[in-house]
Amino acid sequence: MSIPDNLLYLASHEWLRIEGKEAVIGITHYAQHQLGDVTYVELPAVGAQLVAGKEFGSIESVKAASDLYAPANGSVIAVNEALADAPEIINQSPYGDGWMVRISLSAEPDGLLNAAEYAKCCEQ
C-alpha cells in the first residue's frame, strides 16, 4: 500500500498536498482499493467553499458509495474534469492523475495525519 510522505491525511482516507497557498485533494490508495472499481464521483463546482471535516462530494464504486470529506478550509479553484468521463483514473493513479479538487487555502490545515500516523490508522 502506497502512503507518500509528502502528503497529509484524514482518517476518512482523503489526502492533501500543500502547494504554497493552494492545496490538492484526493483519496488514498487504501481508499480506492477498499472501494474497488470507481464508477462515479460527485465533486463541488469551482467557487464552492470547503470546510475542514465537512462533506464536499461523494464517490461510488461497484462495492459501495462513500462521502468525501475536506481536509482543509478553502475555495475550490479547479476540479478534475477528467473524472466525469473516466472515474477509474482514481483507481489507476490516486495520488497523481486521480486528484479531485484544487483549493485556495483560507487557513493553515490543522489536525491532519502524517504518513506514519495514517498508516497506523489503516492497520486498525
CATH no. for residue 47? 2.40.50.100
Asked whether residue 49 is domain-assigned, the answer is: yes
Domain that holds residue 53: 8-108
What pLDDT score was predicted for residue 71? 98
Asked whether residue 114 is domain-assigned, the answer is: no
Full-model pTM: 0.96
pLDDT of 124 above 90: no
Asked whether residue 96 is domain-assigned, the answer is: yes
Q: What is the pLDDT of residues 44-97, one digit of tens each?
A: 999 999 999 999 999 999 999 999 999 999 999 999 999 999 999 999 999 999
The number of folded domains in the chain is 1
Are 93 and 24 contacting, i.e. CB atoms less than 8 angstroms apart?
A: no
- Give the closest residue to 2 by CA, choosing from 91, 87, 119: 119
Asked whether residue 83 is domain-assigned, the answer is: yes
Asked whether residue 117 is domain-assigned, the answer is: no
